[in-house]
């Protein structure tokens, strides 16, 4: 249900580049390699070697070079373990298979190695879970590093007030959108000077909408998923059940409201028929004028909702939408618990409150509710965003405090973001 917590392994670019030419090998207790080639970090030593060649005998210079090239370069992942279990491995309270299970480390999840013990056990900490697992279920050091692309996610966080996202890796390229300070995006690809970030998945196509940002204005974190404790596993299950119950109760309430309206309309219709029949009888007996009959048959208009009632309903809709944060993104989906895309998410939310709006974002942006300005935005309003071709392909719900809730993309699912995580195209209000 909830967004998985992640283990941050922030790797400096120089350190990561240093290891690119080093082959992966079987996980060991300590991970280090003998550098048989010039690598970053020993440039200063090599400079000293060339000085020694000029000033000393060749034999001494060769000894200096040999020492430099055999310098061990420790992996930045040497104390990081990544689960290679088929599904998950149990984390035990003590280093024994008979000991109490305190958590689970699923495949691809990472842990800090706290201690290495005899008998093939290691003590780990992952998230809020601390305990022991057999080391043969872990890739450690360089072996863990080789699993980064498969199991870790890179996130780029904006370090400047407003950052241009470009169509290509060039400052002369077209600006797709501008993104704000502090917002975080999934990194799809990383290059020497640029990072390709995920801006979203549209509901009109399954392809990613991405753009390029300069690495001078972002910092990149590498994040693995954590282990979960038995208590956390139970909490996740309870949260899932709570979301399913909230959806069920909302549908039941909507059905009751519809039935109450139907009965009220039937009663009003019956009362109107009885009033007309009584009026006709009076007109017949009293020979009333047709003009007074016409005047008395008018029905007063239905009262509109007060502003306080509208605000309360808007907040109720927002609170309902937030119950599904952490659930999956599924292209074409409309299920709040089993997966929805961006427009399917807001379509289902409003349907559960009795509102009928178009299914896809491009149509919603034109005919759902009424248009309001961005400055007039209120909780419950729908905010729309365009893709690189200028077509509306994404929608989110404004929740107040300059934030939105939306089915963002297949990697992050339903999340909250800053409302201006991309340039807003238009705003529509459904509740009037």
Q: Residues with catalytic annotation?
A: 342, 394, 406
Cβ(29)–Cβ(123) below 8 Å: no
Report the C-alpha gap between 138 and 82 in whole angstroms: 5
**Neighbour-count burial for 84-104, b at 16+ CB within 10 Å, e otherwise:** bbeebbbbbeebeeeeeebbb
Cα-flanking dihedrals φ and ψ of residue 56, to 5°? Answer: -130, 180
b/e map of 189-202 (b: 16 or more CB within 10 Å)? eeeeebbbbbbbbb
Alpha-carbon distance of 346 to 342, in angstroms, equals: 7
CA proximity to 134, closest of 109, 114, 158, 117: 117
* β-sheet bridge partners, residue 74: 32
Evaluated on CA atoms 167, 168, 173, 175, the torsion sign reads positive
The dihedral over CA atoms of 165, 330, 360, 354, expressed in degrees to the nearest 10, equals -130
């Amino acid at each position: 249900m909830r967004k998985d917590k992640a283990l941050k392994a922030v790797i400096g670019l120089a350190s990561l580049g240093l290891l690119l030419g080093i082959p992966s090998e079987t996980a060991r207790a300590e991970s280090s390699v003998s550098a048989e080639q010039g690598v970053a970090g020993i440039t200063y030593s090599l400079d000293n070697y060339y000085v020694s060649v000029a000033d000393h005998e060749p034999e001494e210079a060769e000894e200096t070079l040999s020492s430099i090239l055999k310098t061990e370069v420790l992996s930045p992942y040497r104390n990081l373990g990544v689960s290679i279990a088929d599904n998950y491995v149990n984390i035990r309270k003590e280093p024994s298979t008979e000991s109490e299970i305190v958590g689970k480390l699923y495949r691809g999840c990472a842990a800090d190695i706290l201690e290495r013990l005899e008998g093939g056990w290691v003590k780990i900490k992952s998230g809020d879970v601390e305990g022991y697992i057999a080391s043969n279920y872990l890739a450690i050091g360089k072996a863990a590093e080789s699993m980064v692309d498969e199991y870790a996610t890179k996130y780029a966080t904006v370090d400047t007030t407003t950052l241009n996202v470009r169509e290509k890796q060039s400052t002369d390229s077209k600006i797709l959108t501008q993104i704000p300070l502090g917002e975080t995006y999934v990194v799809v690809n990383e290059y020497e000077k640029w990072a390709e970030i995920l801006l979203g998945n549209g509901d009109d196509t399954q392809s990613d909408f991405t753009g390029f940002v300069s690495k001078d204005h972002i910092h990149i974190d590498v994040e693995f998923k954590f282990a979960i404790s038995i208590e956390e596993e139970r909490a996740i299950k309870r949260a899932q059940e709570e979301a399913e119950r909230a959806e069920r109760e909302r549908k039941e309430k909507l059905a009751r409201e519809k039935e109450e309206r139907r009965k009220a309309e039937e009663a009003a219709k019956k009362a109107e028929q009885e009033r007309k029949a009584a009026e006709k009888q009076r007109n017949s007996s009293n020979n009333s004028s047709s003009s007074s009959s016409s005047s008395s048959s008018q029905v007063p208009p239905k009262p509109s909702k007060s502003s306080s009632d509208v605000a309360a309903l808007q907040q109720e809709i927002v609170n309902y939408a937030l119950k599904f944060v952490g659930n999956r993104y599924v292209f074409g989906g409309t299920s709040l618990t089993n997966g929805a895309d961006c427009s399917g998410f807001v379509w289902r939310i409003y349907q559960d409150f009795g509102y009928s709006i178009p299914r896809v974002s491009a149509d919603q942006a034109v005919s759902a509710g009424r248009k309001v300005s961005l400055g007039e935005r209120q909780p419950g309003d729908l905010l729309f965003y365009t893709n690189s071709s200028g077509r509306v392909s994404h929608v989110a719900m404004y929740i107040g405090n300059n934030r939105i809730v939306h089915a963002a993309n297949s990697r992050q699912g339903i999340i909250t973001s800053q409302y201006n995580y991309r340039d807003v195209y238009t705003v529509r209000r459904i509740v009037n």
